[in-house]
Amino acid sequence: MVKNRKPGIKRRAPVVNGIYYPERKEALIGMLNSWGLKENFPAMGGQAILAPHGAWDLTGNIAAKAFENVQRNRGERGINRVLVLGTHHQAYDEGIYLSESTYFETPLGSLAVDRGFNKKLASCSTLIRVNDIPHLSEHSLEVLLPLVKYCFPKARIIPILMIGSRPALVSSLAKALRITLETYMKECLIIISSSVSQNLEPALACSMADTFSLLLEKMDSAAFLSQLTKGRVSACGGALVGAFLESGLLDGKHFSALLPLAQGKGERGETVYYGTFGA
């Protein structure tokens, strides 16, 4: 839902607060504090994390570990931009979607969208569109935004949803990220909202989780994308991981696991592995 309070101002209101995470500010802050996060911490830019997008009672502490890892690297300038890359869980046209909204609201307050950066990204490919419709009911970004607001309240956000995983989409996003972020990476935090694996066969989900983790930690973009194309990477967000690896933006840094993988069950009864990684 988008709420308009002033002409030209669009606010994307939360839709899963009270379901996936607390609706009340006090309860939400209590959870964030219990996970060891610090409010308004001047962390260093040039970092990237992978965090899950499940309900907080299942994955909130896992996601918080990624943010805690970012906060350990104190920076003088702080993080000015946060790119949040998420996948879409409902049927919609393939593509890469930026938001038209001016603000994304959270129970802790609003986060301003960097619409100027949106324009730069959209100019990189015809596959990148500015369209709010996919954003309105999607939770993969929303569940992480209260953590962004708490830890980096002054940062502007760039919410990005990708629907589909064909090579042209992955390459278009990788190229756009490289072109637009190369000179700004030192002031940015990249958040990839993704699980590690999911499959109806528990043994296969476990094997896929091992493959995902190994290739991510090796930063082997070619092998990761090959396994993604062959269906051997099944993460809900795997295409986003592949695009970020292909972008080459980490400049010699490597992802590492911050916690052991956690196992859960998805809505269809599939086995899901969740994890968190930082670079």
CA–CA separation, 154 vs 274, rounded Å? 29
126: pLDDT strictly greater than 90: yes
Q: How confident is the model at residue 34 (pLDDT cuts 50, 70, 90)?
A: very high
Can you tell me whether residue 224 is helix, strand or coil? Answer: helix
- What is the identity of the amino acid at 106? T
pLDDT at residue 267 in the model:
81
CA–CA separation, 3 vs 83, rounded Å? 22
pLDDT at residue 92 in the model:
86
CA–CA separation, 112 vs 157, rounded Å? 6
Q: How confident is the model at residue 119 (pLDDT cuts 50, 70, 90)?
A: very high
**Strands, E assignment, the chain:** 2-3, 11-12, 47-51, 81-87, 95-98, 103-106, 109-112, 128-130, 156-163, 188-193, 197-199, 256-257, 262-265, 271-274, 277-278
Topology, domain 2-278: Protocatechuate 4,5-dioxygenase; Chain B (3.40.830)
CA–CA separation, 113 vs 158, rounded Å? 6
- Side-chain-side CA neighbours of residue 266 (13 Å): 21
What is the overall mean pLDDT for the chain?
94
pTM (2 d.p.): 0.94
pLDDT at residue 251 in the model:
82
8: pLDDT strictly greater than 80: no
CA–CA separation, 111 vs 56, rounded Å? 20
CA 171 to chain centre: 18
Instruction: Give tens-digit pLDDT for 211-263.
Output: 999 999 999 999 999 999 999 999 999 999 999 999 999 988 999 999 999 99
User: The dihedral of CA 212, 218, 220, 223: what is its sign?
Assistant: negative
Q: How confident is the model at residue 4 (pLDDT cuts 50, 70, 90)?
A: low
- What is the identity of the amino acid at 215? L
Mean per-residue pLDDT for 187-202?
96
DSSP character string of 99-133: ---SEEEETTEEEEB-HHHHHHHHTT-TTEEE-SG
User: The dihedral of CA 226, 231, 235, 236: what is its sign?
Assistant: positive
